[in-house]
A and B are shown apart, each in its own frame.
Chain A
Amino acid sequence: DAGVTQSPTHLIKTRGQQVTLRCSPKSGHDTVSWYQQALGQGPQFIFQYYEEEERQRGNFPDRFSGHQFPNYSSELNVNALLLGDSALYLCASSFRSQETQYFGPGTRLLVL
């Protein structure tokens, strides 16, 4: 039974560029949440997708957007990258939007 998968594992971008991160949920899960974890901090909630719609959003600007596909996989897009966007981006999946969340290995984004 495959767990949560994320791609790519690492990414290097320059300021002003755009990036797309991808996540496939655990088998049987229909909900995907995204978190940003800066070095030395706990993860911060970005948003959650359920039934292809954004259900809740954290305190992140509109430069952060997402999408969920009919197969429940999800993308996180970040436009106009800033140095401060450098972080580990974690995807978590769950069955229904309030159940236990299981995390993927993360994508490490470095913005130069």
Chain B
Amino acid sequence: AQTVTQSQPEMSVQEAETVTLSCTYDTSESDYYLFWYKQPPSRQMILVIRQEAYKQQNATENRFSVNFQKAAKSFSLKISDSQLGDAAMYFCAPHSGYALNFGKGTSLLVTP
């Protein structure tokens, strides 16, 4: 099974500031997708952003962007202009075969 490591169990950011969540993974595949999902206290899993491994350009979705380093198998998420509503558990999830492989998550706290 693919190993996904999110080395930051908890992170804190002030409103309007920028925060970066890290993720590393291992895979033997050359073509795959990677995702970040957020899970607020309601536990609804919400898609944040998607990256195709064959694309060199990093994905961006409004205030959310990724830094994808394929050779290093690193996939970090940057949240700009943080808002109180960004507080949630964030999961990195590379796609392997037909399955998403989730890390243990990073809990993001946003302070006023």
Contact = CB atoms under 8 A, between A and B. Distances in A.
Q: Are A and B bound to each other?
A: yes
A5 B25 CA distance: 30
Interface residues of B, number: 24
A97 B45 contact: no
A44 interface: yes
Contact of A45 (B46, B101, B104): B101
B97 A56 contact: yes
B1 interface: yes
A45 B97 CA distance: 11
Interface in A19-65: 33, 35, 37, 41-45, 48, 50, 55-56, 58-59
A98 B95 contact: yes
B99 A102 contact: no
Contacts, number: 59
Interface in B81-112: 91, 93, 95, 97-105
Interface size class of A (residues with CB under 8 A): 20 to 34
Contacts of B42: 105
A56 B98 contact: yes
Main secondary structure of the interface of A (DSSP, over half): strand
A48 B99 contact: yes
B15 to A, nearest CB: 26
B102 A42 contact: yes
Contact of A59 (B1, B50, B102, B104): B1
Top-10 shortest CB links A-B: A42-B102, A103-B45, A45-B99, A56-B98, A48-B98, A97-B98, A43-B102, A105-B44, A42-B104, A42-B91
26 contacts: A35-B102, A37-B43, A41-B104, A42-B93, A42-B102, A43-B91, A45-B99, A45-B100, A45-B101, A55-B98, A56-B98, A58-B99, A59-B1, A88-B43, A92-B45, A98-B95, A98-B98, A100-B35, A100-B47, A100-B50, A101-B100, A103-B44, A103-B45, A103-B46, A103-B47, A105-B42
Interface of B: 1, 4, 33, 35, 37, 42-47, 50, 91, 93, 95, 97-105
